[in-house]
Chains A and B, each alone.
Chain A
Amino acid sequence: MERSIIHLNVADFAVAVERVVDRGLQDRPVIVAPLGSARAMVYDMSEEAYQSGVQKHMLLRTARRLCRDASVLPPHPDRYERAMRALFKQALPYSPLVEAGDVDGHLFVDTSGTSRLFGPPVDIAWRLRRQVKTDLGLDPIWSVAPNKLVAKVATRLVKPTGEYVVGAGEEAVFLAPLPVWLVPGIERDDLSRLKEFNFTRVSQVMALSLEHLQVPFGNRARFLYETVRGIDVSPVLPAGQQRPAVISDHDFDEDTNERTILEGALYGMVEHAGRRLRRQRRAARHVSIALDYSDGIRCVRQAAAKPATANDLTLFKAARQALNLARVRRLRIRHMRLTCDRLVFPPAQMALFPEDRQTREKQDRIVAAIDCVRSRFGRDMIHVGRTLAA
């Protein structure tokens, strides 16, 4: 069956929510950023501020210089979460498959096969937008497309307001003239590699065969090959079902920016996540770290685990890499979250070279031994030295 995915995107979500709360902020530049901090960074900004050159994660004082008449408000994450829940609720009557983004005003609704009940997907999307506007005061951009990837690109194209409908079979034609950076999933590394070949448009990448792409991109070639053609089979998750992931959180007793303390806490979180992964007989291919700084700004960075792993030692290596990427500010950190996702069954493929194989086996044996001791004598019976610093 052909799929019909609706994507709702409330542009500049934090600003849109603040404008609902305070109507006086309409039609004037707004910047959301923590106040009272010398090195505060922009959390979100309105279209007017963006047009003046303000961007996310820019220093607030630079942003203020660029847009002198902007109203600056502190972030209210609880408000945004409530608004997100309300947005989610609006879509529920139309489909059991509703997937929300991470408090960012993005919502996917899979309306495939519902037309007998509710009419054509394009009409559902229009009504949904009208309802959201009436009930919540938010005005989402909407798109209808055969998959999530194309639906997301479509709303990006018409930002800050509007709509876009991409028919089935039109995915490749739709993407072809667009710049490559507009396509979600094509990351910074891919872009810089493509730039080396002077490829900036989707149509240029589309002209390459899978074999051609494999030369510079290796394993990533298949993903790129399909993505530029608008092929995306990822499902819209059922409402209430989160993407399978193992999450571990840590609140620091005192805000800190000490590397040893951060890494010690991280190792403890990795042990916790690793144990849960091993219990589920799963391995993670992707690790992300979210750092909440003391001024309320959150920084999220990620790293790939290659091959997929549930071993504490290799998971820690990837997590530390993500931590180093996220720890870019001089401010102290209040809270840290580790997310292990893209879960798969542990890879059966053994390492090609004996040295690698031996290292891997050794690491697995150590972790298995620690698990064994802990399951028999209790969790605190054995510690890795690194965690004692946290």
Chain B
Amino acid sequence: MSKYPCTIRVGTSGYSYAEWLDAGFYPPDTKPGAMLQQYTRRFSVTELNYTWYQMPKAPAIERMRQQVPSDFQFAAKLTRYLTHEIDADQWRTHAAQYRDGIAPLIQSGQLAAVLVQFPPSFQRTPQNRHYLAALLDELHGLRAAVEFRHVSWATERVYVELERRQTALVSVDAPGLKELFPRLDIVTSPDLFYIRFHGRNARGWRSGNMQKQFNYDYTEAELHEWTEEKIERMAGQTCSGLLFFNNHVRAQAPQNALAMIRLLVDQGLMH
């Protein structure tokens, strides 16, 4: 039994990577279509990245859902039409389409959260603040978690507003670059804390190449920083937590996630 009434799930951002075959995470010759089933043997949650690239479609989501055990959970990334390529006239329609697309996960109770990840170009301007407020209203009931990539959002007023809305602020572990949103452990929702581990590859982050940006292997000490100093405190303030590793390039993500689970179990935060 865990010491806290907080249920923590650890997983990776995406699960379908050819590199994970080479790294031995998946058995050799695993077909892409069979990766999710293999993944569910090790983890109880995953973050869906493809819902950012493509507007989710309910039949496809339902087919995917049927491949996993009923207690498996998904965090779905919000479509890029609502975070990166916002069309002032169309975004409400896109929000409705998105909600329809992920409906099978909502209905089955397997939607752990909706990840609203903004790009570094989304800075704290009056226009963007109004948009964010309207977007969160539109996503009401979907358990949104907001990830900022720009430091301008790191202010008390933002945390207070998220807290008022009971919306989780995503804690990010990323390189310590001054324009990036800092590594914080602030909890703004009584229901959820959400941490994303992107890796600390500062040179790769600036390269613009995803394969360099997320190429990083966390050391045991770096993971300890989180479990001992932050996660324990965060878990004390909420009833659930999601931790995702996005450093997928050489299959470091699943290895680091498994290491994180071991640490959390040792600490009595997971069972």
Contact = CB atoms under 8 A, between A and B. Distances in A.
Contacts of B31: 2, 168-169
B19 A116 contact: yes
B211 A165 contact: no
Given A167-B32, A173-B63, A122 B211 contact: no
Interface string A110-132: 00010111111011011000000
B21 to A, nearest CB: 10
A170 interface: yes
Interface string B1-45: 000000000000010111100100000000111100000000000
Contacts of A173: 63
Nearest to A114: B18
Nearest to B36: A167
Contacts of B210: 118-119, 123
Nearest to B19: A116
A141 to B, nearest CB: 12
Contacts of B209: 118-119
A122 B60 contact: no
A122 B55 CA distance: 13
A146 to B, nearest CB: 8
A165 B33 contact: no
Contact of A164 (B14, B54, B63, B80): B54
A287 to B, nearest CB: 39
Given A2-B32, A116-B211, A170 B63 contact: yes
A120 B54 contact: no
A341 interface: no
Given A123-B210, A169-B31, A163 B53 contact: yes
Given A2-B32, A113-B18, A119 B53 contact: no
Given A163-B53, A165-B53, A168-B31, A120 B17 contact: yes
Given A2-B32, A169-B32, A115 B53 contact: no
Interface string A19-36: 000000000000000000
A377 to B, nearest CB: 61
Given A163-B54, A170-B63, A119 B211 contact: yes
Given A115-B18, A116-B18, A123-B210, A165 B63 contact: no
A162 B22 CA distance: 33
Interface in A66-104: none
A168 B32 contact: yes
A375 B210 CA distance: 60
A108 to B, nearest CB: 19
Contact of B50 (A116, A165, A168): A165
B45 to A, nearest CB: 20
Contacts of B54: 122, 163-165
Nearest to B30: A2
Contacts of B60: 167, 170
A163 B60 CA distance: 14
B12 to A, nearest CB: 13
Interface of B: 14, 16-19, 22, 31-34, 50, 53-55, 60, 63, 80, 209-211
The 5 A-B pairs of least Cβ separation, nearest first, read: A169-B33, A119-B210, A168-B32, A122-B53, A165-B54
30 contacts: A2-B18, A2-B31, A2-B32, A113-B18, A115-B18, A116-B18, A116-B19, A116-B211, A117-B211, A118-B209, A118-B210, A118-B211, A119-B209, A119-B210, A120-B16, A123-B53, A123-B210, A126-B53, A126-B80, A162-B55, A163-B54, A164-B54, A165-B50, A165-B53, A165-B54, A167-B32, A167-B33, A167-B60, A169-B32, A170-B63
Interface of A: 2, 113, 115-120, 122-123, 125-126, 162-165, 167-170, 173
